Amino acid sequence: MSKTSKIQNPAQTESLLECIHLPSDIKALSDSQIKQLADEVRAELIEVCSKTGGHLGSGLGVVELTTAIHAVFDTPEDRLIFDVGHQCYPHKILTGRRDRIHTLRQGGGLSGFTKRMESAYDPFGAAHASTSISAGLGMAVARDLSGEDNDVICVIGDGSMSAGMAYEAMNNAGAMHSRLIVILNDNDMSIAPPVGALNKHLSKLVSSAPYINARDLAKQVSEFLPAPLKAVAKKAEEHARHAMGSGTLFEELGFYYVGPIDGHSMDHLLPVLRNIKDSTRKGPVLIHVITKKGKGYAPAENSADKMHGVAQFDVVTGTQNKPKSLLPSYTKTFAETLIAEAKTDPKIVAITAAMPSGTGLDLFEKEFPDRMFDVGIAEQHAVTFAAGLATEGYKPFCALYSTFLQRGYDQVVHDVAIQNLPVRFAIDRAGLVGADGSTHAGSFDIAYLGCLPNFVLMAASDEAELIHMTHTAALYNEGPIAFRFPRGNGVGVDLPDTPTCLEIGKGRLVKEGTQSAILSYGTRLAEALKASEQTDSTVADARFAKPLDTNLIDQLVNTHEILITIEEGARCGFGAMVLEYLAQAGHLDTGKLKVRTMTLPDIFQEQDKPEKQYEEAGLMARDIERTIFSLLK
């Protein structure tokens, strides 16, 4: 790719951003113009997100950092990985996608995360957290094996350093000699002292080639000293680094540490990045950058949680145009039910992994601050932490998105299922999730939990059923139990004054018909009922995927020649469990029974409006009708 700038004379144009088509164009700018460019990127980002919605606060926090990286390094030859990927909006504006940025998170438009198939400037897709250092190290080693000399830069932040995977990667990288640049975007000052002029000077100093070479030489010389002197020299070097604000944790992991520096000052960022770029030092480097989430837009700075992910909003006031619904959300219904349960049962505790508001547990925390635990982006720890609580007689509710529970799967198997511990898994965002696309869709939990011995699996068909299932989980103490529910609002059924404890493994007959039987698991029940109006079908709500209500299945197949199962999950889930039972019970031996399973398609569905996704998946009422009519013919 050519590095020739397309800007003839930047000083003659009022808007620099209009002239930046690729990062190579930034090379022609002066440092003061790079500052101006960052300001224009920030304004563009606010304007775009006000119309499309999306992850605003994180992107605002890395505007200067992203602009500086592209100004100094030679992307895409130099690999730039964002972790987590929702920091990438400024990156997309600067890498040839500005003309499509208005399509962000829409059907057929730009992804809200980095995506390999979208651009050469996205070398690694990232929507889940804490993957960048592992992927970056792989790229760095591949570069070394190929005899290349490009840089690999990982920007990790927004809580991603709380996950063990990041430290596993750092431990591996520190023991190797591959050149790798990790930029820690620290946006909550959790591990940093205040940033000031002295830190700016010291960071520039310690990133300079003479200082790097001097430290490396000192380490080499100390290897030849007698043991007592070697220990004294090491301690002296550590004291020096402490005095200069260096990060001994990262140094002990084998990284050369630079920072902390002001991530919103080009006067800080550009010299340090240039020093690191020009350094010939082998091995990994960590640059500690302090940023503020929502920087440069007052509503986002003052409300980092509410402006993290936004709907369309008014730029002047920051007021979001969230559609108002009279129907309760599933998430809030779960949270309020759990609060009610916890008021009568002091053993109930709640756990989430960096998603207190997303799972509704921020409401639980207000009522029970000592009984809610946000463990950070650490799903593996969350699951085993819950297992430990369960061993001591507590009743942990581990509330995670379906897509994030995948990250703790080994712990679900080894630490919960094998030991048959009564951990309650509240699985939010089960099924399709609209604009967040394939990386956040909860497609697989039915299949990946259904194969585990000892588990009880439930799926709420509406908000009233979710209340009953939360109550049932609170009372169940025989082993692990999970219940799934979708994103969004309920369907408008009457809510019970008092929850009912469901009989484990018992479904319910919702409507009787003659032509065929529809057995629904989860929230496709409403569509099944619509389809039954045209097909005179019996409709049943399975409630449980494990254990199956085999008596209900027997009743349906003994009185109907057609059975349709439907679920908002991937293949090998509920429908597969029903088919296995039918085969083992001999229901398929006569050849009279016609069975079809309706699941999510065997693809990773791209982002779109939820109704469009359901149409693509073939899980609407008319799809059920077509399936039944084809079997009748």
Which structural domain, as residue segments, surrounds residue 18?
10-310
Which is higher by pLDDT, 186 or 499? 499
**120 and 234 inside one domain:** yes
Write out the two tokens for 209.
Answer: 């080639």
Residue 244 has pLDDT above 70, yes or no: no
- Check residue 157 and give its pLDDT: 83
- Higher-confidence residue: 303 or 28? 28
Is the pLDDT confidence value at 236 over 70?
no
Span 26-39, average pLDDT: 96
Q: Is the dihedral of CA 429, 430, 431, 437 positive or negative?
A: positive
Computed over every residue of the chain, the mean pLDDT equals 88
Give the pLDDT band (50/70/90) at residue 339: very high
Is there a domain that residue 255 lies in?
A: yes
SS3 for 469? helix
Neighbours of 530 (CB within 10 A): 16
Report if residue 14 sits inside a domain.
yes
Give the pLDDT score at 211. 54
CA atoms within 13 A on the CB side of 98: 19
C-alpha atoms less than 13 angstroms from C-alpha of 456 in its C-beta half-sphere: 26
**Residue 190 confidence (pLDDT) above 70:** no
Helix axes 550-559, 574-584, angle to 10 degrees: 70
Q: Are residues 343 and 464 in the same domain?
A: yes
Position with higher pLDDT, 439 vs 85: 439
Least confident of 153-167, 190-204, 485-499, 561-575: 190-204
CATH number at residue 81: 3.40.50.970
Residue 2 pLDDT? 39
The pLDDT value given to residue 209: 61
> What is the pLDDT, as a whole number, of residue 247?
65
- Looking at residue 39, the DSSP 8-state letter turns out to be H
622, 577: one domain: yes
User: Per-residue pLDDT averaged across 3-16, rounded?
Assistant: 56
The three-class DSSP label of residue 346 is: coil
CB 75 within 8 A of CB 1: no
334 and 306 within one domain: no
Shortest CA distance to 276 belongs to which of 190, 231, 328, 211? Answer: 211
Q: Three-class SS of residue 261?
A: strand
Residue 90 has pLDDT above 90, yes or no: yes
Contact between 121 and 91 (Cβ < 8 Å):
yes
What residues have CB less than 8 Å from 613, skipping those under 6 apart? 432, 434, 605
Segment 499-548, tens digit of pLDDT = 999 999 999 999 999 989 999 999 999 999 999 999 999 999 999 999 99
pLDDT at position 294, please?
86
Active site residues: 293, 379, 407
Residue at 324 is within a domain: no
Phi first, then psi: what are they for 550, rounded to 5°?
-70, -30
Question: 88 and 201: one domain?
Answer: yes
CB 87 within 8 A of CB 155: yes
Residues 175 and 74 in one domain: yes
The 10s digit of each residue's pLDDT in 384-442 is 999 999 999 999 999 999 999 999 999 999 999 999 999 999 999 999 998 888 889 99
Q: What is the percentage of the chain residues whose pLDDT exceeds 70?
A: 88
How many CA atoms are closer than 13 Å to the CA of 369, on its beta-carbon side?
Answer: 1
What is the spatial distance between Cα 632 and Cα 516, in angstroms, rounded to a whole number?
A: 9
Q: What is the CATH number of the domain that holds 558?
A: 3.40.50.920
Structural domain includes residue 518: yes
153 within domain boundaries = yes
Q: Can you tell me the mean pLDDT for 261-269?
A: 94
DSSP string, 388-417: HHHHTT-EEEEEEEHHHHGGGHHHIIIIII
Tell me the two tokens of residue 538.
């019996």
Is 520 within a domain?
A: yes
Query: Is 276 in the same domain as 159?
Result: yes
Q: HSE of 39 in the Cβ direction (CA atoms, 13 Å)?
A: 10
For 347-374, write each residue's pLDDT tens digit.
999 999 989 999 999 999 999 999 999 9
Q: Is 499 a domain residue?
A: no
Say if residue 19 is in the same domain as residue 100.
yes
User: What pLDDT was estimated at residue 9?
Assistant: 52
Distance CA 84, CA 113 (A): 8
C-alpha dihedral sign at 569, 573, 574, 576? positive
CA distances to 8, 22, 72, 279 from 205, in Å: 35, 31, 18, 13
Overall number of domains in the chain = 3
Mean pLDDT within 189-203:
42
Query: Are both 302 and 387 inside the same structural domain?
Result: no
Same domain, 302 and 350: no
Quick check: 193 pLDDT over 50?
no
Query: Is 489 inside any structural domain?
Result: no
Tokens of 458: 């439930």
pLDDT score at 243: 45
% of the chain exceeding 90 in pLDDT: 70
Q: Is the pLDDT of residue 292 over 50?
A: yes
Same domain, 341 and 265: no
Q: State the average pLDDT over residues 566-583.
A: 97
* Residue 129 in this model has a pLDDT that exceeds 90: no
71-75, 409-413, 600-604, 608-612: least confidently modelled range: 608-612
Same domain, residue pair 463 and 513:
no
The phi and psi torsions of 463 (rounded to 5 degrees) equal -70, -30
